[in-house]
């Protein structure tokens, strides 16, 4: 989608960005399929690699933050609505996973969902260059990590807007053989209210 720029205008999607998104879709097809689990694990991070208990590790800190936010939001909405959320959890064999919570046919909300996910994958170099503006001709896939929280809530009342938000942390691994810090990282997301009744 186009990105907002100062003054409320819109920036057109560049052809390179379209090409990069095709690469991202192709890479997404290679991501391992989910395995449903009965109960969400303490962490969705890869075992050992991301030091889930280490406060200096941004991956671990962000996962803890989005899971705490999911708990707070679901508890508040459930208290307001009077109905509980139903939870489903999934993992991937190579690490990562997600927790989906849905409240349906409630007293206030027709449907409300609050989801968190932690994903590991391989990004095509064109997608990386489009996202970061970095030059280069490398053809190697770039390992990435992404974690986020998203929600959509549809109230019964047509005078109340639908709310949608998503917030994420995205990180690409350092090139093979390089030690330490991520190659690149950024936060993204946004919130919007969509009216269903036009005055």
- The residues assigned a catalytic role are 164
Residues 6+ away with beta carbon under 8 Å from 67: 99, 116
112 in Cβ contact with 153 (< 8 Å)? yes
99 in Cβ contact with 40 (< 8 Å)? yes
The backbone torsions φ and ψ at residue 68, rounded to the nearest 5 degrees and listed phi first, read -65, -40
Whole-angstrom Cα distance, residue 106 to residue 31?
Answer: 34
Query: If DSSP codes are grouped into helix, strand and coil, which group holds residue 75?
Result: helix
Residue 79 is classified by DSSP as H
171 in Cβ contact with 151 (< 8 Å)? no
């Amino acid at each position: 989608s186009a990105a907002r720029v100062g003054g409320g205008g819109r920036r057109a999607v560049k052809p390179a960005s379209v090409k990069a998104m095709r690469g991202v879709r192709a890479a997404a097809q290679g991501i391992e399929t989910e395995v449903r689990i009965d109960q969400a694990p303490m962490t969705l991070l890869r075992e050992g690699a991301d030091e889930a208990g280490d406060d200096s590790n941004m991956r671990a800190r962000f996962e803890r933050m989005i899971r705490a936010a999911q708990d707070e939001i679901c508890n508040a909405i459930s208290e307001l609505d009077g109905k509980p959320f139903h939870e489903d959890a999934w993992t991937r064999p190579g690490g990562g996973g997600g927790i989906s919570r849905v409240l349906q046919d409630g007293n206030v909300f027709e449907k409300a969902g609050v989801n968190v996910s932690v994903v590991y994958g391989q990004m095509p170099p064109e997608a990386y260059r489009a996202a970061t503006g970095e030059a280069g001709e490398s053809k190697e896939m770039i390992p990435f990590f992404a974690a986020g929280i998203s929600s959509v809530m549809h109230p019964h009342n047509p005078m109340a807007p639908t709310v949608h938000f998503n917030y994420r942390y995205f990180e690409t691994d350092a090139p093979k053989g390089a030690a330490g810090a991520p190659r690149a990282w950024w936060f993204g997301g946004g919130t919007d209210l969509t009216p269903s009744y036009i005055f």
